Structure 1
Amino acid sequence: MTDNGSSTRTPEEPPGSLFGPDSQFHRFFNDPRWALAMVRATVLEAAHPQIGAALIDNSTFVTHPWRRLRNTLVSLQRMFGTDDDVRRREAARLNRMHARLSGTDERSRPYDAMDPEVRAWVVATLFESSVTMCRLSGQPLEPAAMEQLYAEFRAFLVVLGDQAGHLPPTVQEFWPYYDRVVAQELENTEALRIILYRLFDHLPAPPLLGGLPTVWAAGRALAGPAIGAITVASLPEPFRRRAGLPEIPGAQTLMQSAYMAAGLARFLPEGWLQTDYLTNLMSLSADSDDPRYATVTALRARMKRAGAFVRLVAPLPAQRGPAGAAEPRRSADQFFAEVLDQTGDGFLDWPDLAAMARELASRLDLDEPAETRLYTAYADWWRELQTALDADGDGRVSREEYAAAVPSLAGPALIRVAEVLFDVTDADGDQFIDAGEYRALFRTGFGRTVAGAEARCSRSAFVKDFLSFMAGRRYSTAYDPLLTDA
């Protein structure tokens, strides 16, 4: 650490002192303003052509935004927590995940999620958006606090195995670097346009509000455009002009008001705005057995009454009820859209199955050998699907190809996926999945009370349930929140 507080650490130096409850990042994590800052940072990331291409080709942020948000928050907690072993394990997991994300964009330009300059830009957007959120809310960071925060984010790169020098060594040198990237490298990418103009306008309800489509749609119709306008107004003006982003009258005032109002929420009683608590609560499904769900039952009843009133004013198309209640099976078209097409591009290809493997590996916090087994099993299944369903040989399966084949997906490769998933879930290797192991996999979807021996699930029962969901296209209390819900 230099005299002015900026970081000059190398990858060999342990950065643990920059993490934990005394860090600047930890203070921001439960700050309501940080939600706006995270959206802004995500837009700036998506505007980078390499990151934008990787998001379009591999990410589930369009079809499963709430899942992706929760996974991002869990990852940041692991990286900025107090446990060095957890931090190293999470860094290794992130590196394995990023190593699988490479390809070319629509203009045949290569992208690679392991490019150290690209990873540095991701960290830069988090730092700059944190500084900007404080400025916009009328509480600019003191120089010492800004230098400390910058040192923490540079240490983040070190933990990932990158040189901290991929970001400038001091805060003073950071701003010319940031201005250069904004002016020379950012573009109006497809991923940026989706986030600003499609994602919030069509954001599906979180699991907790899944049974209240009318109320959610009414609120989203107001909040979606507002969030987009606030985010655009907060972006650097040179980029807004170059990207042709619209200047909405009153957007600057709306943006400053939103940041100021979010900043006032810090005066609420401690614990009311714990980020992990709120995200976990929003992830509860309507049939969850989590004790916290009882505390929101009355609120849901009130919101349903409000939804009934809204339907009288502006009725919506009929919605499907709870999983398994009236429709025990999906049509082939529904199954393709809701389960198989994880990236939402209208086709089934390897990134969709890789997204399934990534979600499972993340939930179970698998080590490298177990994660590799799971990805290999899914890769074998993809090759089997290609052989059986890719009629035109274009390397992907369209919705029409899938529906026309009237497929039963329960071939040898899918059975192998089920067996490997059982093995990696069975953490103690006793050939049964107990209540704790089952919850690790189905933590938001396991809607039954489990206790003692009744919760033990054998290999054959687990494989049967998995195949019933994947091959039989049946709704499932457990698997729908895992692979289908937003």
Structure 2
Amino acid sequence: MSRTTTAETTDVFGADSILRRLVGEARWGLAVTRATLLEAAHPQIGAALMENSTFLTHPWRRLRNTATSSRRILSPDPRVRDREVARLNRLHARMSGTDAQGRPYDATDPEARAWVAATLFESTVAMCRLSGETLDAGEMRRLYDEYRIFLTLIDGDNEHLPATLQEFWPYYDHVVENRLENNDAVGVILYRLLANVPAPPALRGHPLVWTVGRAVAGPLATAVIIASLPEPFCRRVALPDLPGARTLMQGAYLTAGLATRYLPESWTRVDSVMGLLDPSSATPWDTVRRKAGQAAALLRLITPAPAADDQQVVLSADRFFSEVLDQTGDGYLRWPDLAAMAREVATRLDLGEQDEERLFQAYAAWWRELQAALDGDDDGRVTRQEYAAAAASLPGAGLIKIADVLFDVTDVDDDQKIDAQEYRDLFRTAFGRDLAGDGSYSRGAFVRQFVSFMSGQEHSEAYSTLLTQA
């Protein structure tokens, strides 16, 4: 089986690329969600998700980063593609270990990566079929070839994915029937993630509106996902056959297909939907945000105010633990939580290898300090109670080191201050009022605010947006 060359990659990911067109459409989110569940059932991928991923606590951030990464990999500029692939491989190389059953997992495992490409291809085909778009034999072969090239870019080769579309379907059926399992990651995605998904940033100021909408939409979304999955997979992982779910699923996909064909393109592109994840952006969905604000105001009028908190100090540390430190949502502070913070900063600033390594090393130094101060039983994790009880006396040298590195990588022009554009690149927010009068951020001010926030002593809207954004 021959390797795909750079020239072939450039030709396929040109202006007529089927994959690039579909990835740019908002309905592709249906394919990605479906594929994610099939990926999670793979033992290697499921373990990596449960141990390292922030998809449960920060699903919208994960969605935004996935969309951004996909666009970069499909870019016609080889430099953009190569940089993104290198970044992804560095991040995935840090995700390895053993699952709860003692089985090793590695996020760079070639067979698992091939399964990711396989689920995305099959789910994209299913999305097109269910939403009323027919792919003829030639288009389907082209789409499959593009996914094989996608895998080649990430993994260096595509040896673990069948060479032809004809060979793909028996391979896919074999993995579904013999390799996948009903693991914790599958249950979390179906029954915890959709039931508890936090509000996207644009609607975070209206929690009552979101809670009411989620109570209705969550079960419906679960039913749509289950009904769209291959029957052999549903049997293997014992998913329920919900009455009316198939009709609901077909209606959801057809609606997405009709919207793509008949609504203005600016409404149905991924970029427009991503605008809901960025409150400072101007998108066609601004009206939705305004209506949500009006509905929230009405609900506040009829909802009693919460009772006063008599344990403000302890609960403040407890809330900080939950919203900032526990990035993976397992109830503990572990190294994967701090690594997730470093990943988010590295992704947002598109750091090169050297700067990224400095950032991870700084977070590792802080983790060693936290372990020494708080991990009394030496089990590699800190409980919420342990953190809340000792929050006021935590060491600060590691945090200062992180802040120094963070300042250096944000200050791209190396003028020893963070200007408006650098501020926006890091925080993805408007030019904030907490900046100095000359519209810049000195190293001292930056370090002080970061350390105060990360030690739970002072609230910062900018850092809260960066590290708690769902």
TM-score under structure 2 normalisation? 0.93
Q: What residue in structure 1 maps to residue 266 of structure 2?
A: 271
Q: For residue 219 of structure 2, what is the aligned residue in structure 1?
A: 225
Q: What displacement does 1:269 show?
A: 1.5
Find the counterpart in structure 1 of residue 204 from structure 2.
210
Paired letter, 2:141: E
1:442 aligns with 2:427: yes
Letter in 2 for 1:306: A
Aligned with residue 306 of structure 1, among 295, 300, 304: 295
Q: Are 2:109 and 1:115 aligned?
A: yes
- CA–CA distance in 1 between the matches of 2:431 and 2:458? 16
State the shift of 1:263 in Å.
Answer: 0.4
> Is the contact between residue 323 and residue 468 of structure 2 (CA under 8 Å) also seen in structure 1?
yes
Query: Which residue in 1 is equivalent to 2:253?
Result: 259
Select which of 444, 463, 466 maps to 1:460: 444
Q: Deviations over 1:430-450 (max 9, x none)?
A: 21111111111111x345379
Answering whether residue 389 of structure 2 is matched by residue 388 of structure 1, we say no
Match of 2:57 among 47, 59, 63: 63
Aligned to 1:26: 20
Q: SS at the partner of 2:413?
A: coil
Output aligned runs, 1:141-156, within 5 Å: 141-156=135-150
CA distance in 2, matches of 1:425, 1:299: 33
Deviation at 1:485, TM superposition (A): 2.1
Residue 407 in structure 1 maps to residue 407 in structure 2: no
Q: Secondary structure at the match of 1:111?
A: strand
Deviation at 1:203, TM superposition (A): 0.8
Amino acid at match of 1:73: A
**Larger mean Cα displacement after TM superposition, 350-359 or 454-463:** 454-463
- Match of residue 351 from structure 2: 366
1:324-403 equivalent positions in 2, closer than 5 A: 331-403=316-388
Structure 1 pair 219/42, CA: closer, same or farther in 2 (3 Å)? same
Mark the CA change 1:16 to 1:121 in structure 2 (over 3 Å): closer, same or farther. same
1:485 aligned partner: 469
**Could you tell me how far apart the structure 2 residues matched to 1:357 and 1:223 are?**
33
CA drift at 1:408: 3.7
Whole-Å separation in 1 of the counterparts to 2:422 and 2:313: 27
Deviation of 1:145 after TM superposition, in Å, equals 1.0
Aligned partners of 2:26 and 2:273 also within 8 Å:
no
C-alpha spacing 1:319/1:162, structure 2 compared with 1 (3 Å): farther
Residue number in structure 1 paired with 2:414: 429
Amino acid corresponding to residue 408 of structure 2 in structure 1:
D
Shift of residue 379, structure 1, vs aligned partner: 0.5
Per-residue deviation, 1:219: 1.2
- Percent identity over paired residues: 57
Alpha carbons 1:79, 1:91 under 8 Å: kept? yes
- Return closer, same or farther for 1:480/1:293 CA change in 2, 3 Å cut-off: farther
Query: How far apart, CA to CA, are the structure 2 residues paired with 1:53 and 1:372?
Result: 24
Give 1:389's aligned amino acid. L
Aligned counterpart, 2:232:
238
Indicate if the aligned counterparts of 1:32 and 1:265 stay in contact, CA closer than 8 A.
no
Q: Secondary structure at the match of 1:188?
A: coil
Deviation (angstroms), 1:400:
1.1
> For the residues of structure 1 that align with 2:297 and 2:431, how far apart are their CA atoms?
26
User: When the two structures are superposed, what TM-score results if normalisation uses the length of structure 1?
Assistant: 0.90
**Separation in 2, partners of 1:254, 1:39:** 16
State the Cα deviation string for residues 352-380 of structure 1 (Å, max 9, x = none). Answer: 00000000000110110110000000001
Once the two structures are TM-superposed, the CA of residue 211 in structure 1 deviates from its matched residue by 1.3
Using the TM superposition, give the Cα deviation of residue 299 of structure 1 relative to its aligned residue in structure 2, in angstroms.
Answer: 4.8
Give the conservation status (yes or no) of the 8 Å contact 1:342–1:356.
Answer: yes
Deviations 1:75-130 (A, max 9, x none): 00000111110000000001001100001111111100111111111111111100
Task: Report the more deviating stretch, 302-311 or 243-252.
Answer: 302-311
**Equivalent residue letter for 1:95:** N
CA offset digits 1:122-165 (Å, max 9, x no partner):
11111110001112223231111111111111111221243122
SS of corresponding position for 1:177 = helix
Shift in Å at residue 8 of structure 1? 5.5
CA distance in 2, matches of 1:377, 1:14: 40
Distance 1:23 1:318 in 2: 53
Q: Residue 267 of structure 2 aligns to which amino acid in structure 1?
A: W
* Number of the residue aligned with 2:132: 138
Q: Hey, which of these two has a bigger chunk of helix by percent?
A: 2
**Which secondary structure state, in structure 2, belongs to the residue aligned with residue 355 of structure 1?**
helix
CA contact (8 A) 1:80 1:87 kept: yes
> Secondary structure of 1:108's match?
coil
Cα deviation for residue 455 of structure 1 reads 2.1
1:307 offset after TM fit, Å?
3.5
C-alpha distance 251-392 of structure 1, shift in aligned 2 (>3 A) = same
Query: How far apart, in 2, do the equivalents of 1:318 and 1:20 lie?
Result: 56
Indicate conservation of the 8 Å contact 1:284/1:293, yes or no.
no
1: CA distance, partners of 2:79 / 2:333:
37
